[in-house]
Amino acid sequence: MQTFYSDDHHLHHGQAELNNGQLMPCFEKPSRADMVLERVRSTGLGPVQAPEDFGLAPIKRVHDSQFVDFLKGAWARWAALGRSHDMLPLAWPPRRMPARCPEDIDGQLGYYSFDAGVPMNAGSWQAIYSSAQVALSAQARLATGDQAAFALCRPPGHHAGIDYMGGYCYLNNAAIATQALLDGGARKVAILDVDFHHGNGTQDIFYQRPDVLFLSIHGDPRHEYPCFAGYADERGEGAGLGYNYNYPLAAGSDWTRWSQALADALRVIAGYGADALVISLGVDTYKQDPISSFKLDSPDYLRMGEQIASLGLPSLFVMEGGYAVEEIGINAVNVLSGFSSRR
């Protein structure tokens, strides 16, 4: 299985995020991708390749153009005010307040985000852009006939919506790759999100479309981030009604409970008739992850990969969350190894 990866992710290293009511060091940090890359290489999973540059056009097929331009130019505007510390939003538009985009950088940071978990520094845009190119390069391998590829993306993407960032995510790598597959000739694509946290951004992007089936297995949003999306009754709208599946699970869910949701999701995917499968690969379902409450263990990720492989679909794995840094490489590569063993 070909892995795509860019060293540019090191350029993005937030110093602090707002968590549990206080500013604290970011859980999303460069060592996450480094540990996965080390494991890919040590297990001989497959060659590692730098991404091609597909430009901004495929990104703007998914994201609002003004939002993308904001991300690209935000740091220069921030630095022009004499600020050298990380960018974080100041205010968000609440209910019944006109959601107009302000002109100043502080207002726009709030307008284009939904939390304070998206710090940006001088190198962030390059890392964000390269992460999307990693996903696009991996999908290009599927488009040319490969049956599987791994996009080792950082920063992750599944919380980023059409015109907003949040939850460590700025551009939605999985959605960008999915749209590229459709633009390249795929009729229908399924996205399976196995991250502990609901893929609210991916749901937002495809909620009204029947050409993308979105399924997410995640912590119950009544008690878990992102709090305002991921309920089971969110089934899509308009032409997309019936093409959105959420599987919210209780805290403490182990492989026995989690795999039941996976089995149903795979059943739905099998009946959809997709030409390709995109997996938002979060491994923060691990029992020792610091910001989740599921109880999966490392061998469970082998079984996860094996069961996903049973669909027999060309499959693109896109790295999302996972914050138990010592185990993130083991668990992510276990999914890929389990998948490869059955193909």
> What residues act catalytically?
159
Sheet of 212-219: strand order equals 48-49, 2-4, 148-151, 315-319, 276-281, 189-193, 212-219, 244-249
Q: Which of 88, 108, 17, 44 is nearest to 333 (CA)?
A: 44
Specify the 3-state DSSP secondary structure of 203. helix
> Strands, E, within 275-314: which ranges?
276-281
Specify the 3-state DSSP secondary structure of 47. coil
Type of residue numbered 180: A
Strand 22-24 relative to strand 17-19, pairing: antiparallel
> What is the rounded CA–CA span in Å between residue 159 and residue 153?
14
> What is the rounded CA–CA span in Å between residue 213 and residue 210?
7
